[in-house]
Amino acid sequence: MINYILKIEGISKRFFTNKVLDDINLKIKKGEVHAVVGENGAGKTTLMKIIGGIYTSSEGKIIFDGCKVNFSSPQEAINSGISIVHQELSLVPKLKVAQNIFSHREPVNRLGFIKWAELRYKAKQILKHIGVDIDPSTLVGDLSVGMQQIVEIAKALSQNAKIIIFDEPTSALSEKEVNLFYQVINDLKSKGVTIIFISHKLTEVFKISDKMSVLRDGKLIGTRKTKETSIEEIIKMMVGRELGNLYPDKSSHIGEKIFSVKGFSRKAKFEGIEFDLYKGEILGFAGLVGSGRTEVARSIFGAEKPESGEVILEGKKVEIKSPRDAIKNGICYLTEDRRNWGLFLEKTLRQNIIAASINKFVNKRGFLKNREIKEKAKHFIDYLNIKPADDKILILNLSGGNQQKTLLAQWLNAEPKILIADEPTRGVDVGAKAEIHKHLRKLVESGVGVIIISSELPEIIGLCDRIAVFNEGKITGILEKDATQEEIMKYATL
Amino acid sequence: MINDKAKNSSQLIMNSSSGHLSRLKEILDTREIGLLLIIFVASILLSIFSENFLTFSNLTSVAIGMNYDVLLALGMTLVLLSKGIDLSVGSILGLTGIITTMLLQAGVSILFAVILGLLSGTFLGFINGIFIAKFRINPFIVTLGMMAIARGLSVILTSGYFVSNLPEGYLIIGQGKFLGIPNPTYVMILFVILFDYLLRKWGPFYKAFYIGTNPDAAELSGINVSSIILAGYVISGFLSGLAAIFMTSRLAMGYAQFGLGAELKAICAAIIGGASMGGGEGSIVGAFLGVMLLAIINNGFVLLNLSIYWQGVINGLILVIAVTVDAIRRARKGKSRV
Amino acid sequence: MSLNEKFRTITKVKNLGLLTTIVLIIIGMAIFFPRFLSPINIEILGMGFVQEAIMALGMTLIIISAGIDLSIAGVMPFSAIMVGIFLNNNFGITVSILLALLLSALVGFVNAQMINRLKVHPFICTLATLTTLRGVNLVITKGETVTGFPPAFYFFGQGRVFGIPFPIFLFAVMAIAFTYLLKNHKYFQQVYFIGGNINSARYSGINIDRFIIFIYVLNSILAGIAGIITASQYISANTGFGIGIELRVITVVIIGGVSLSGGKGNIGGTILGILFLAIINNTFVQTGAPTYWQEVVYGSMLLIAVFLEEYIGAKREGTGVLKRWREFML
């Protein structure tokens, strides 16, 4: 008899009339690292939230450690030994590490006063247990995102979790932090803690999981032992069909120089950044998180101010002091953080599509040309295959992939000469990812210069014609398209 | 949150593609229609219970009473729309009134005094806007500070006394009539139509919807966020100044406490009309109807000889009801959300 | 940790700035107006601001939780009026006070319910109750002043404990208790989680709704106490009490360094803020400057305090990047 710590039997979840999870059956062994993969909207996060007591299921039951459980709040789940490390960190930046680890479970005396010394001591113990050296009195807001993630894990451990659920744990971590994270996972596993985690990064899933389950459209497609499956099989299960070539063909013709950046510097962020962009090529910015790629892009775009440096577009020097100047000159920037910096979630698809180009849709006296706006929105919905094809739907009702396509539409609509796309496929499912890649390639072929910033090396290698590698605020090498992952990593960590 | 108001405002600028019937349904589902219905019902009830309600003189007096609040509520709607708030409108009204009337007393010509008055209101709004849009300080705090400063200055300038003995020519602005309807009413209607049209159709104003929804994304979309936010406070200051001129000329005096508490009334009306504290929503016609609803109810109290003391209670309850209805509506629309 | 240190220096300097200003004013006043430091004047100074001070304690909690409560300006006269009415109907002092406080608490409960249930911004919810309450006050009193308080009731505004005026004594006791509780008590600490990151609070199992009820009820009760003290001071109660007081209370709290975006601040800062405005207030009394100037000075102080904190602070961090818009907007 195998000892299953968690058995999920016939779980379904409906939001109003919409069935998000449909009869999920899953068994997870004690001490197993179990990955849950699937496209956006497949129901992974919902399933995890049901296990963690944040949502309640509409049907079915969960058997945890041999007992049927029915959590009605995250607190109950935590008390039973199931903790979630959330995708958006759930820490309070203005409080100390120790307070965050023991949030609402601080050691107190009989009158409810916090015993500070004991709190610090206990926090220190747990951090030591994980093997990191963080002062428990540090404010969480002063830690790097990676360290914050570690604090989250410490929090889960302090709850004596038997199962820890991670939702996209590494999406914001630097390479070094990712390795520390893998170590912690292995360590936890050896101590008999069961790990369930959601990830979009299949390479990562293959590296650390024992088993993986694939969800699609709210149904469990299958569970495989990691050793006995392949990336191709998992992708096929995820999208329900074979993807042909993952990336579009590379450029057939590289033309003249259209854009260059010279001597870009900003104290403590980046220094002496220089590169050229040629017609018909996609230039990739590779590097670790925090290597200065996004800052350079935002500075070119005028969203931040560089201390020195110039931008030359089509042979002429351009002055860019604000995003407005950049857009006027045809330099566009597609942000890495669509929810906070890119989209207008409570506005309609149509309004979002014209957001960066309102000035193109007004007449001489500044009045909106509604017919043109409507036609343009319809055009982009068809062109990018945005679903649902209703230009009056609010963006927050769209899936991640369709939101990202909307963001792309927003910038295509601004008719860029140069488009800098920062993590253009972050948090996007495999199908939409391929579509976005195809459109970026098409854009280049129409004569637009495209720069891609991506933390996924396969994407950089698969899509780009040349690769500029960033390392601690400098470009350490510009590689040709046949570069390997090892080569890039060498320049990135030099 | 799903918000229908945002949807409505967008729908207004766009021709529905999904048939006339659904278009009609959308229009009927708007806040403005709801308010209009309530006003209609309230008016019918009032005209049943009081024969004085539907008289020309009564309606004129309601219109005059609304005039100041409408101007302030227009400015408030613009400011709320761009994710701000302006607590200083009442005080700016007070101070501008004092400045204008004192200039008149000092013998400055009417035209000049009015222009200087409007300029001073605009300038105070500009100061608010600079602190908020350029220095990026919380609008609640900035306008709270301005509220205290402007009110304090009004009292200092007058030592608490009335400023009276204003020239006849000045009084005509507020007291004069054309075709039996008071001058300020024309101006009010003109402004409502103008601002409503501009907000729905004019690029620079329309961008405020984007700013209120996500100011950071608006900035990256090339929208000149600080200028548009600044413009909102400047306009709000100007409209407060205009209201001050109507009020002082109508009442033939300047007084330091004019406009006391007007900011809360203006916020009330704007919120009832569909604006939200979260920004990105708001309707000029809605705010106008919000003021109208409050005015008609107050009028009802007068006509029915009810204790005017109940007015405050009713106004507060109306705000509660408006907010509740909105919450329910949001929850209902949430059904479409996955 | 350099950022950490930087952050700490800025906060320290900020409180230091306020403290220095207070000390400088005190020294200056003591030199030019020797009376300033006399026991009588210190008492006047304290009594002139004690209502605001008491209410600021609760408002600190509310603003740290990223909320706001305008309704206190309605609760304060409401409680004063109600206690008067109960006393006039021979309910006895204890019962009258308890009933008045209970009714005040009810207002806080209504606020909290609206915030929790309707998910509407606390500004709007409490604006609604403020407007309603002002109306209620007028309806109850018909605009007239309530009088006829029994002499035994005078104690709460005019009596003395250990030679200290009762209101000041009460404030001092509450201030010490609030400081200690907010710093060290598990239940009070929840406010930092709720204001700092509501999701964190939710996932930590904090009962947010109940805590919101707690702080709004607490805040209303404090406003009720301020009302009773005022009634006892003036031996009368009318609807004019508390006009604009909500803004003075908020000003005190903000000057004390509590951030409107929530999660940051403490009672110590608020007490400094109270001290500061109380001294400014008293300076006017002592110098015989027209009291009209007070409001102008309060307003300017608020703007300067926030300007120094937000703008200069941001500049000092030296990133060259202005704050993101959403960090400071409502």
Residues in chain B: 338
Six-digit token string for A8: 């999920």
Q: Which helix (H) or strand (E) holds A450?
A: strand A449-453
Six-digit token string for B22: 């659904």
| Beta-carbon pairs below 8 A across chains A and C | 81
Q: Chain A within 8 Å of C321 (Cβ-Cβ)?
A: yes
Answer yes or no: do C328 and B142 touch at CB < 8 A.
no
Q: Which helix (H) or strand (E) holds A174?
A: none
Which of A18-27, A295-304, B96-105, C186-195 is predicted least confidently?
A: A18-27
pLDDT of residue B9: 41
Q: Chain C within 8 Å of A108 (Cβ-Cβ)?
A: yes
How do residues A422-442 score in pLDDT, each as one tens digit? 989 877 777 788 889 999 999
pLDDT of residue C329: 53
How do residues B207-251 score in pLDDT, each as one tens digit? 999 998 888 899 899 899 999 999 999 999 999 999 999 999 999
Answer yes or no: do C300 and B135 touch at CB < 8 A.
no
The nearest alpha carbon in chain B to A395 belongs to: B2
How do residues A45-78 score in pLDDT, each as one tens digit? 888 888 888 888 888 888 888 888 888 888 888 8
Nearest beta carbon to residue C132 from set B146, B317, B324: B317
What residues of chain B, 225 to 264, have a C-beta less than 8 Å from chain A?
none
How do residues A266-289 score in pLDDT, each as one tens digit? 887 888 899 999 988 899 998 876
Provide, as residue numbers in chain B, all residues whose Cβ is less than 8 Å from the Cβ of C119. Answer: 1, 327
Answer yes or no: do B210 and A347 touch at CB < 8 A.
yes
How do residues B70-101 score in pLDDT, each as one tens digit? 999 999 999 999 989 998 999 999 999 999 99
The count of C-alpha atoms lying within 13 angstroms of the C-alpha of A253, restricted to the half-sphere facing its C-beta, is 6
The nearest alpha carbon in chain C to B256 belongs to: C292
Contact of A52 with A165, CB cutoff 8 Å:
yes
Answer yes or no: do C185 and A114 touch at CB < 8 A.
yes
Identify the CA nearest to A329 among candidates A305, A351, A312.
A312
How do residues A472-493 score in pLDDT, each as one tens digit? 888 988 988 778 777 887 787 7
How do residues A346-394 score in pLDDT, each as one tens digit? 888 999 999 998 888 988 888 989 899 999 999 999 998 888 888 888 8
Contact of A58 with C158, CB cutoff 8 Å:
no
Q: Chain B within 8 Å of A363 (Cβ-Cβ)?
A: no
What residues of chain C, 81 to 110, have a C-beta less than 8 Å from chain A?
none
| CA C159 to chain CA mean position, Å | 23
Kindly report the nearest CA distance between residue B136 and chain C, in angstroms: 7
Q: Which residues of chain C have pLDDT under 70?
A: 1-16, 309-330
Residue predicted with more confidence, A40 or B127: B127
Identify the CA nearest to C292 among candidates B150, B103, B87, B94.
B150
The count of C-alpha atoms lying within 13 angstroms of the C-alpha of B58, restricted to the half-sphere facing its C-beta, is 19
Kindly report the nearest CA distance between residue B236 and chain A, in angstroms: 21
β-pairing verdict for A33-38 and A18-29: unpaired
Which residues have a Cβ under 8 Å from the Cβ of A490 and sit 6 or more positions away? none
pLDDT of residue B3: 42
Q: Is C161 helix (H, G, I), strand (E, B) or coil?
A: strand
Residue of B25, B197, B281, B338 to mutate, testing the A interface (most A Cβ within 10 Å of its Cβ): B338
Query: Is CATH 3.30.2350.10 what the domain over A257-493 is classified as, yes or no?
Result: no
Q: Chain A within 8 Å of B203 (Cβ-Cβ)?
A: yes
How do residues A307-326 score in pLDDT, each as one tens digit? 888 999 888 999 998 899 99
Answer yes or no: do B135 and C330 touch at CB < 8 A.
no
Answer yes or no: do B145 and C300 touch at CB < 8 A.
yes
pLDDT of residue B25: 66
Nearest beta carbon to residue A348 from set B10, B217, B219: B10
pLDDT of residue C46: 86
pLDDT at B336 > cutoff 60: no
The nearest alpha carbon in chain C to A53 belongs to: C203
Provide, as residue numbers in chain C, all residues whose Cβ is less than 8 Å from the Cβ of A84. Answer: 203
Superfamily covering domain A4-239: P-loop containing nucleotide triphosphate hydrolases (3.40.50.300)
Architecture of domain C2-319: Orthogonal Bundle (1.10)
Contact of A465 with A481, CB cutoff 8 Å:
yes
Domains of chain B and CATH, by start: 54-336 (1.10.3470)
Identify the CA nearest to B72 among candidates B170, B7, B143, B136.
B143
Report percent pLDDT > 70 for chain A.
95
Q: Where are the domains of chain C?
A: 2-319
pLDDT of residue B231: 95
pLDDT tier, A43 (very low <50, low <70, confident <90, very high otherwise): confident
Q: Chain C within 8 Å of B145 (Cβ-Cβ)?
A: yes
CA A362, CA B158: separation in Å to the nearest integer? 48
Contact of C87 with C284, CB cutoff 8 Å:
no
The nearest alpha carbon in chain C to B331 belongs to: C118
Q: Chain C within 8 Å of A244 (Cβ-Cβ)?
A: no
The nearest alpha carbon in chain C to B325 belongs to: C118
Kindly report the nearest CA distance between residue A395 and chain C, in angstroms: 19
Identify the CA nearest to A9 among candidates A53, A70, A55, A54.
A70
Answer yes or no: do B203 and A345 touch at CB < 8 A.
no
Average pLDDT, rounded, for chain B: 84
Provide, as residue numbers in chain C, all residues whose Cβ is less than 8 Å from the Cβ of B312. Answer: 131-132, 134-136, 138
Contact of A311 with A320, CB cutoff 8 Å:
yes
Answer yes or no: do B131 and C143 touch at CB < 8 A.
no
pLDDT at B277 > cutoff 80: no
Give residue A429's region: left, alpha or beta (phi > 0; psi -120 to 50): beta
pLDDT at B55 > cutoff 60: yes
The nearest alpha carbon in chain A to C6 belongs to: A142
Residues B37/B43/B48/B50 CA torsion (nearest 10 deg)? 160
Kindly report the nearest CA distance between residue C169 and chain B, in angstroms: 30
CA A347, CA A343: separation in Å to the nearest integer? 9
* Neighbours, chain A (3 or more CB pairs < 8 A): B, C
Six-digit token string for B168: 């006849």
* Neighbours, chain B (3 or more CB pairs < 8 A): A, C
pLDDT tier, B16 (very low <50, low <70, confident <90, very high otherwise): very low
Contact of B86 with B140, CB cutoff 8 Å:
no
Provide, as residue numbers in chain A, all residues whose Cβ is less than 8 Å from the Cβ of B201. Answer: 367-368
Average pLDDT, rounded, for chain A: 85
ipTM of model = 0.79
Provide, as residue numbers in chain C, all residues whose Cβ is less than 8 Å from the Cβ of A106. Answer: 186, 189
* Neighbours, chain C (3 or more CB pairs < 8 A): A, B
Provide, as residue numbers in chain B, all residues whose Cβ is less than 8 Å from the Cβ of A363. Answer: none
Q: Of A128-142, A330-344, C277-291, which one has max mean pLDDT?
A: A330-344
Answer yes or no: do C329 and B84 touch at CB < 8 A.
yes
pLDDT of residue B128: 94
Q: What is the mean pLDDT of residues A81-101?
A: 83
Q: Where are the domains of chain A?
A: 4-239, 257-493
Give residue A461's region: left, alpha or beta (phi > 0; psi -120 to 50): alpha
pLDDT of residue B329: 65
Cross-strand bridge partners of residue A283:
A451, A466
Residue predicted with more confidence, A3 or A425: A425
Q: What is the mean pLDDT of residues A211-235?
A: 86
Provide, as residue numbers in chain A, all residues whose Cβ is less than 8 Å from the Cβ of C190. Answer: 104
Kindly report the nearest CA distance between residue C311 and chain B, in angstroms: 6
pLDDT at B137 > cutoff 60: yes
pLDDT of residue B287: 94
Contact of C286 with C234, CB cutoff 8 Å:
no
Answer yes or no: do C247 and B144 touch at CB < 8 A.
yes
